[in-house]
C-alpha cells in the first residue's frame, strides 16, 4: 500500500469543524475522469502564512474582557500549531484603524498646530497596555509567527488636513512634503520599539488603502507617485541606515487597480526596494495578482486584508483562501482576529465586520466562526516556508496543493457546487478516492518522508523478555526519558516541562525491532513537554526513534496525545495501547528529521486525553545506503543492474515503446521492456537491519491490451501491499509505465523480501528499486 493520508473536514452546516476523518491509503490509480493530479516537481510561490489582524479592538477584547484562563485557552486555539490552528501571519495596525476602542490615535499625538519632526514625543505606551501582551503570547505559542505592520494614518501634524481622519472638514489629507523624512523615521522607531518588546516586524506597507480617504476613521490619500517617492527616497534608505531588514510591501489596496503597483514596479530603484505588493479584496478579482506576477514574476504577492462576510466584501472565505493562493499570494489574511457580537468595538468604518472569533464582553465566552475553521484548514497544515505546487481544479471543485519543508504534501479542496462531488487525488501515480459534500472543505496531508514504522502487532501471553541491544552509530543520542542511565541510554536530559513516573511491570518487547533495554520502558516522562536534543550536525539527517510502553492504563482510548518534530506533527491522536496491541508492550515509532541551524532536533509532546508520555528517545545519524536497482527479467541498463536475487518465475522482453510521461523518476525505457512473470519472489540482501527503505516497483503491460486480463497480488516482508493489482487499470493503458511506492524495513538479516502471486494469467514485475 502507498502512504497513509490524513484528512480533516469542515462542512457548511457546522456538523464537521476541522474534524479528523478516517485515514486513507494511496493505492493504484483508479483512472477516474474527475482527478486532482498533484505534481510536486512544479513549484510556485513560497508561503509565508495565514491569519488575521490584531487590531486595537481585537487585542482589547482578548486582554481585557477575558479571564486569564479564558485568554490562554483562546490563544492556544488560535496560535498553537498542535492544539489550535497555528495562525502564522498577523497584521498590526500602526496606531488606530476603524477598529479602535477610543477613536484615532498615533504614536506621536500633539495639540493642534504643533509638530514634532524629530519625534521627541514618540511612544508605543498605548500598545504596551494590551496589544503587545497579546502579540507576545501569540509568538510564545507559535515561534514561526510572522508580523507585518502599517499605518492607517500618520500623526495628524504630518498631514495636509491636520487630522488623523482621511477627510476632515471637507479636506482630504495627504502627507506634507516636509514630513516624508519624519514619517520614515516614525517607521524606524516603531520597528525598533516593537523589536525591543520581542515582536520582530518582517514587513511594512507605507499606507493602508492609499486610494481611500474615509471621513469617519483614520486614513490618508496618497498617490502612486507620492508613495513611490517615499519608498525610494525616504523609507528604504531609513531602514537600511538603521540596520533593519524589514521588507517593504507596496500599495496595500484593492485588486481592481494594477496601475498603482505598476507605477512602483516600473521605477527600477523602487522595484529593488520592494519585497512585494500587498492586496485587499473589496473590489476587483484575485487575478490582478497574476497580472502583476506575469509582468514581474520575482515580486511577491501578499493578500493582507479581507473582511469576509461583510456586505462590502464580494468574496467568501473559502474562495479567498483558495483563489489567493492560486493567484500567487504568499499570505492570506482576514481582517479582525476578534470582535464582539455587535461587530465591534469600532470607530466608524465597517458596521457588519466579523471576527475570526467572537468574544462576549460580559462573560468572556468565545464563539468560533466558520472563518476560524476555514483558515485552520490551511494554517494548521501548511507550514511557513511551504511551496505552492501544481494541481488541477475540477469545475466547482477547487483545490490547491502544497509541499512543506519536511517534504509532506497538503491538498485543500473546496466544493462550491450544490451537490456532493466525488474525485480521485493522484500523486506519484498513486491515487485515492473521496466524496466531498456541497459547500465543504477538506484538507489531505501525507508524507513520503516522515513515515512512521510501527513495530508491535501480536497479542497473547507475555514472554520473559530477552532484550538484545543493537549497537547504533557513533554520534547517536539515546535518552531514558524519566529515568536514570541504562547503558547505552543516558539519564533523562534536554527536556522542558512534564513529570516523571516509573513502574516495575514486565514489558513485552518481542514485537519491536532493536528495542531499548527493558528498564527504559519502565520509566517515562509525561504531561505536555518537549525535548531539544543538542549537539547534532546542523542540516544533517537523523533517524528519530521514539520508544513507548503503557504501564498505567490497561485499554486503548485512555491516553491520547500528539507528537511533533521540529514543529511538524508526526503523530496525531496517538494511543500507545492501540499501537502496541496491549498494555505493558513496547512499540516504536520511527521518523526522519533534519537538525536545525543550531544543531538541534526538537520533539514536542502535547496531551489530548490524560497525559502525553515518552519512555525513550534515540536520535541516530542517518546512514546513506547505496540504492539497489534491478532490471527484472533483463540485462544491466544503468543505473539498473541485471536481474538478480529472485526465486521462481520466467522472463520475457518486448520492443514496444513505453509511455513514461505520467511517472515521476521513471526507470530507463529498456527496464519496462523486460519483465519477470509467474509466481516468484525477490529477496534483496545487503541492507541495514531494522532500517526503513523506500521500495519502488516499476510496471508496464506489454502483452495484454486491456484491463482485467492480468491481476496479481504483491507482498513485502509477508505484508500484502497490492491486492488484485491490474497494470493496465493502474497505468490507464497498455504500454504505459506505472510505479507503486511503499516503505519497508529490512529484517534482522538485512533483507527485504517481495512476493508476487498470480491471480489471473501471471504476476509480473519490470523493475525494482530499494532506496
- The reply to whether 330 and 192 lie within a common domain is yes
Whether residue 163 lies inside any domain: the answer is yes
- Residue 748: helix, strand or coil by DSSP? coil
φ, ψ for residue 178, nearest 5 deg: -75, -10
Q: What pLDDT does residue 640 have?
A: 84
pLDDT tens for residues 169-222?
Answer: 999 999 999 999 999 999 999 999 999 999 999 999 999 999 999 999 999 999
User: C-alpha angle 308/313/318, rounded to 5°?
Assistant: 40
Per-residue exposure over 440-479, b if at least 16 CB sit within 10 Å of its own CB, e if not: bbbbbbbbbbbbbbebbeeeeebeeeebeeeebeeeebbb
pLDDT tens for residues 622-675?
Answer: 755 567 899 999 988 878 888 988 989 999 999 899 998 777 678 889 999 999
Whether residue 390 lies inside any domain: the answer is no
**Domain final residue, candidates 381, 412, 431:** 381
Task: Give the predicted TM-score (pTM) of the model.
Answer: 0.62
State the CB neighbour count (10 A cutoff) for residue 668: 17
Beta-bridge partners for 434? 423
pLDDT tens for residues 497-529?
Answer: 888 888 888 898 877 767 888 899 999 999 989
Whether residue 120 lies inside any domain: the answer is no
pLDDT tens for residues 278-299?
Answer: 999 999 999 999 999 999 998 9
Active site residues: 209, 305
Nearest to 417 by CA among 438, 448, 395: 438
CA–CA separation, 336 and 372 (whole Å): 11
Query: What is the average per-residue pLDDT within 572-600?
Result: 88
Range of the domain at 427: 4-44+398-446
Check whether 459 has a pLDDT greater than 50: no
- In whole angstroms, what separates CA 558 from the centre of its chain? 29
**Residue 202 grid coordinates:** 518582517
- The reply to whether 228 and 370 lie within a common domain is yes
- The reply to whether 644 and 667 lie within a common domain is yes
Whether residue 114 lies inside any domain: the answer is no
Per-residue exposure over 390-407, b if at least 16 CB sit within 10 Å of its own CB, e if not: ebeebeebbbbbbbbebe
Between 489 and 760, the higher pLDDT residue: 760
520, 547 in Cβ contact below 8 A?
Answer: yes
Whether residue 239 lies inside any domain: the answer is yes
Question: Considering the chain, what is the average pLDDT of its residues?
Answer: 91
Query: What is the average per-residue pLDDT within 599-611?
Result: 91
CA atoms within 13 A on the CB side of 676: 27
**Residue 263 grid coordinates:** 507605477
How is residue 289 annotated by DSSP?
Answer: H
Task: Name residues whose C-beta falls within 8 Å of residue 553's C-beta, 6 or more positions apart in sequence.
Answer: 559, 577, 583, 610
CATH number, residue 563: 2.60.120.430
Number of structural domains (the chain) is: 4
Between 406 and 697, the higher pLDDT residue: 697
CATH number, residue 440: 2.60.40.1180
Specify the pairing of strand 477-480 against strand 490-491: parallel
Amino acid at each position: 500500500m502507498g502512504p497513509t493520508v490524513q484528512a480533516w473536514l469542515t462542512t457548511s452546516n457546522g456538523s464537521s469543524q476541522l474534524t479528523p476523518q478516517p485515514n486513507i491509503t494511496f493505492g493504484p490509480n483508479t483512472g477516474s475522469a474527475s482527478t486532482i493530479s498533484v505534481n510536486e516537481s512544479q513549484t510556485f510561490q513560497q508561503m509565508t502564512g495565514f491569519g488575521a489582524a490584531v487590531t486595537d479592538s481585537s487585542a482589547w477584547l482578548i486582554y481585557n474582557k477575558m479571564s486569564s484562563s479564558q485568554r490562554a485557552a483562546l490563544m492556544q486555539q488560535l496560535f498553537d500549531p498542535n492544539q489550535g490552528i497555528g495562525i502564522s501571519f498577523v497584521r498590526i495596525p500602526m496606531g488606530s484603524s476603524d477598529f479602535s476602542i477610543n477613536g484615532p490615535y498615533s504614536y506621536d499625538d500633539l495639540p493642534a498646530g504643533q509638530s514634532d519632526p524629530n519625534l521627541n514625543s514618540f511612544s508605543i505606551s498605548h500598545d504596551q497596555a494590551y496589544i503587545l501582551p497579546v502579540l507576545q503570547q501569540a509568538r510564545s505559542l507559535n515561534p514561526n509567527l510572522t508580523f507585518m505592520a502599517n499605518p492607517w494614518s500618520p500623526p495628524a501634524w504630518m498631514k495636509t488636513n491636520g487630522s488623523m481622519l482621511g477627510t476632515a472638514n471637507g479636506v482630504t489629507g495627504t502627507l506634507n512634503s516636509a514630513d516624508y523624512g519624519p514619517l520614515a523615521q516614525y517607521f524606524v522607531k516603531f520597528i525598533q520599539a516593537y523589536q525591543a518588546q520581542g515582536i520582530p516586524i518582517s514587513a511594512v506597507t507605507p499606507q493602508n488603502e492609499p486610494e481611500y480617504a474615509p471621513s469617519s476613521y483614520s486614513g490618508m490619500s496618497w498617490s502612486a507617485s507620492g508613495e513611490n517617492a517615499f519608498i525610494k527616497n525616504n523609507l528604504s534608505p531609513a531602514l537600511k541606515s538603521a540596520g533593519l531588514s524589514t521588507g517593504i510591501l507596496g500599495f496595500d489596496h484593492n485588486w481592481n487597480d494594477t496601475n498603482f503597483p505598476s507605477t512602483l514596479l516600473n521605477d527600477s530603484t523602487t522595484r529593488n526596494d520592494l519585497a512585494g505588493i500587498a492586496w485587499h479584496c473589496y473590489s476587483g478579482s484575485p487575478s490582478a495578482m497574476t497580472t502583476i506576477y506575469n509582468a514581474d514574476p520575482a515580486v511577491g504577492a501578499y493578500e493582507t486584508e479581507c473582511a469576509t462576510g461583510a456586505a462590502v466584501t464580494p468574496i467568501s472565505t473559502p474562495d479567498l483562501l483558495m483563489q489567493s493562493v492560486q493567484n500567487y499570494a504568499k499570505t492570506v489574511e482576514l481582517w479582525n482576529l476578534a470582535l464582539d457580537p455587535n461587530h465591534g468595538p469600532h470607530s466608524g468604518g465597517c458596521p457588519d465586520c466579523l471576527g475570526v472569533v467572537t468574544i462576549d464582553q460580559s462573560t468572556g465566552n468565545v464563539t468560533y466562526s466558520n472563518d476560524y475553521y476555514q483558515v485552520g484548514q490551511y494554517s494548521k497544515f501548511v507550514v511557513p516556508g511551504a511551496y505552492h505546487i501544481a494541481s488541477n481544479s475540477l469545475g466547482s471543485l477547487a483545490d490547491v496543493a502544497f509541499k512543506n519543508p519536511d517534504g509532506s504534501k497538503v491538498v485543500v479542496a473546496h466544493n462550491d457546487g450544490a451537490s456532493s462531488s466525488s474525485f480521485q487525488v493522484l500523486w506519484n501515480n498513486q491515487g485515492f478516492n473521496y466524496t466531498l459534500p456541497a459547500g465543504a472543505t477538506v484538507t489531505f496531508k501525507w508524507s513520503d518522508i516522515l513515515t512512521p514504522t510501527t513495530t508491535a502487532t501480536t497479542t497473547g501471553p507475555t514472554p520473559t523478555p530477552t532484550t538484545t541491544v543493537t549497537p547504533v552509530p557513533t554520534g547517536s543520542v539515546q535518552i531514558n526519558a524519566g529515568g536514570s542511565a541504562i547503558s547505552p541510554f543516558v539519564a533523562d536530559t534536554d527536556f522542558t516541562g512534564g513529570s516523571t513516573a516509573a513502574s516495575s511491570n514486565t514489558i513485552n518487547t518481542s514485537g519491536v525491532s532493536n528495542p531499548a533495554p527493558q528498564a527504559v520502558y519502565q520509566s517515562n516522562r509525561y504531561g505536555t513537554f518537549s525535548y531539544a536534543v543538542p549537539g547534532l550536525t546542523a542540516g544533517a539527517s537523523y533517524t528519530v526513534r521514539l520508544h513507548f510502553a503503557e504501564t498505567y492504563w490497561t485499554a486503548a482510548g485512555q491516553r491520547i496525545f500528539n507528537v511533533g518534530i521540529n514543529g511538524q506533527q508526526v503523530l496525531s491522536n496517538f494511543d500507545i495501547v492501540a499501537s502496541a496491541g496491549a498494555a505493558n508492550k513496547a512499540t516504536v515509532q520511527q521518523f526522519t528529521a533534519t537538525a536545525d541551524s543550531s544543531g538541534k532536533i526538537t520533539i514536542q509532546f502535547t496531551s489530548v486525553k490524560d497525559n502525553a508520555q515518552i519512555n525513550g528517545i534515540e536520535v541516530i545519524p542517518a546512514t546513506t545506503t547505496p540504492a539497489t536497482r534491478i532490471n527484472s527479467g533483463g540485462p544491466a541498463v544503468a543505473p539498473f543492474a541485471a536481474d538478480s536475487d529472485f526465486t521462481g518465475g520466467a522472463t520475457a522482453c518486448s520492443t514496444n515503446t513505453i509511455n513514461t510521461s505520467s511517472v515521476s523518476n521513471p526507470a530507463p525505457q529498456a527496464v519496462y521492456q523486460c519483465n519477470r512473470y509467474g509466481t516468484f519472489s525477490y529477496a534483496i540482501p545487503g541492507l541495514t537491519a531494522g532500517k526503513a527503505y523506500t521500495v519502488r516497483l516499476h510496471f508496464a503491460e506489454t502483452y495484454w491490451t486491456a484491463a482485467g486480463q492480468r491481476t496479481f497480488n504483491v507482498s513485502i516482508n509477508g505484508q500484502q501491499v497490492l491486492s488484485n493489482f491490474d497494470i493496465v487499470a493502474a497505468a490507464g493503458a497498455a504500454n504505459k509505465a506505472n510505479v507503486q511506492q511503499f516503505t519497508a524495513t529490512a529484517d534482522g538479516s538485512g533483507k527485504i523480501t517481495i512476493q508476487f502471486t498470480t491471480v489471473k494469467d501471471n504476476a509480473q514485475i519490470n523493475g525494482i528499486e530499494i532506496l
